[in-house]
């Protein structure tokens, strides 16, 4: 298999959502969306200085001014930027500030879980050097309001990588990181009254996302400190099996509607990073992974100008049209493209 670039998605640093004819993208403080045939342009308020600095990609990258999250709920968009959470009503086109985060400016892409009853879940993702308490938030009204449904106590974790809904057990799986004893995979009911923590907090359990199947739960390590492997948890026996080795930390995963599974390795600093390329992998059975594209890290220092990352978008997609966006990689930094995954 190979990944074939189809076309560039214009004026988009990030593709947040794509499904059939619907698409949500952003560049700096401007969000563009096409939902059910209606076109929306949302301009978030920023300071005059940010407006000037934001004219330049290198400044947006260094100051993280490009970072933004947009999650599509049933009738609203949930937007996160610069520690503020907004709710944008798709019918009225009204934008409301609903929450200010304690420990982060943004969260990771694809990291908000949506339960079958419409409840939304996400957790704070920030540097948190002081190891303050970290919140998990829940919304019962499509993102119009939020409550703290669970709190990791001070000193337990650095941050939350994501909250993911498991349709097979009607549970939420919360993944945390990053260092010794901080890597928790926690399975919870929808009100977080029962919480099962899996693993010993080691790098083996450091992951950003998961794949759910009826009998198993899959994750791939996102550790720059150790080699990153694919692990599989058997739901019935609780046994954990180690599978394929990846050349670097894997942040983002994506299941496609035609039974393709995608994983993207990043370029960071550490002994677990085996190459200076970000790679796109495809599997059709969650056993065998094939690299279908590689992207070289650019020359700018990573600590100041970001790791080399490939990211996916929310929404139902098949292998004929997969949006990818990129950070800190040669020739594609700050850009988004549509790809096809071709057989043979």
Q: Along the 344 residues of the chain, how does pLDDT read in single tens digits? A: 899 999 999 999 999 999 988 999 999 999 999 999 999 999 999 999 999 999 999 999 999 999 999 999 999 999 999 999 999 999 999 999 999 998 999 999 999 999 999 999 999 999 999 999 999 999 999 999 999 999 999 999 999 999 999 999 999 999 999 999 999 999 999 999 999 999 999 999 999 999 999 999 999 999 999 999 999 999 999 999 999 999 999 999 999 999 999 999 999 999 999 999 999 999 999 999 999 999 999 999 999 999 999 999 999 999 999 999 999 999 999 999 999 998 86
Q: Give the domain extent around 211.
A: 2-342
Q: What is the CATH number for 53? A: 2.130.10.10
Contact 258, 319 (CB under 8 A): yes
| pTM reported for the whole predicted model | 0.96
Q: What is the DSSP letter of 314?
A: B
Q: Where are the beta strands (DSSP E) in 167-283?
A: 171-177, 183-188, 195-201, 207-212, 216-221, 228-234, 240-246, 250-255, 261-265, 277-283
Query: Considering its fold, how many domains does the chain have in total?
Result: 1
């Amino acid at each position: 298999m190979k990944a074939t670039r189809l076309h560039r998605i214009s004026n988009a640093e990030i593709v947040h959502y794509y499904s059939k004819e619907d698409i949500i993208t952003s560049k700096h403080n401007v969000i563009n969306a096409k939902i059910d045939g209606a076109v929306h342009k949302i301009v978030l308020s920023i300071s005059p200085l940010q407006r000037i600095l934001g004219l330049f990609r290198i400044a947006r990258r260094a100051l993280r001014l490009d970072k933004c999250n947009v999650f599509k709920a049933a009738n609203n968009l949930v937007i996160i930027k610069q520690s503020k959470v907004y709710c944008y009503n798709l019918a009225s086109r009204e934008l409301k500030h609903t929450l200010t985060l304690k420990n982060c400016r943004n969260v990771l892409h694809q990291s908000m879980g949506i339960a079958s009853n419409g409840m939304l879940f996400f957790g704070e993702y920030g540097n948190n050097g002081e190891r303050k308490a970290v919140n998990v938030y829940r919304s019962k009204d499509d993102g119009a309001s939020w409550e703290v449904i669970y709190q990791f106590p001070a000193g337990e974790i650095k941050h939350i990588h994501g909250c993911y809904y498991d349709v097979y057990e009607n549970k939420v799986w919360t993944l945390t990181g990053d260092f010794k004893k901080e890597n928790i995979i926690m399975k919870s009911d929808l009100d977080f009254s029962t919480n099962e923590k899996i693993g010993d907090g080691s790098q083996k359990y450091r992951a950003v996302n998961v794949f759910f199947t009826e009998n198993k739960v899959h994750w791939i390590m996102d550790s720059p400190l150790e080699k990153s492997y694919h692990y599989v948890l058997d739901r019935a026996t609780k046994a954990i099996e180690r599978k394929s080795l990846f050349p670097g930390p894997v942040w983002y995963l994506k299941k496609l509607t035609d039974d393709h599974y995608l994983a993207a390795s990043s370029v960071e600093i550490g002994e677990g990073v085996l190459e200076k390329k970000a790679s796109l992998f495809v599997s059709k059975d969650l056993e065998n992974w094939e690299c279908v594209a590689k992207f070289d890290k650019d020359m700018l220092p990573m600590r100041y100008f970001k790791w080399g990352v490939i990211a996916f978008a929310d929404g139902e997609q098949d292998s004929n049209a997969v949006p990818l966006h990129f950070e800190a990689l040669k020739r594609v930094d700050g850009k988004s493209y549509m790809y096809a995954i071709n057989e043979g």
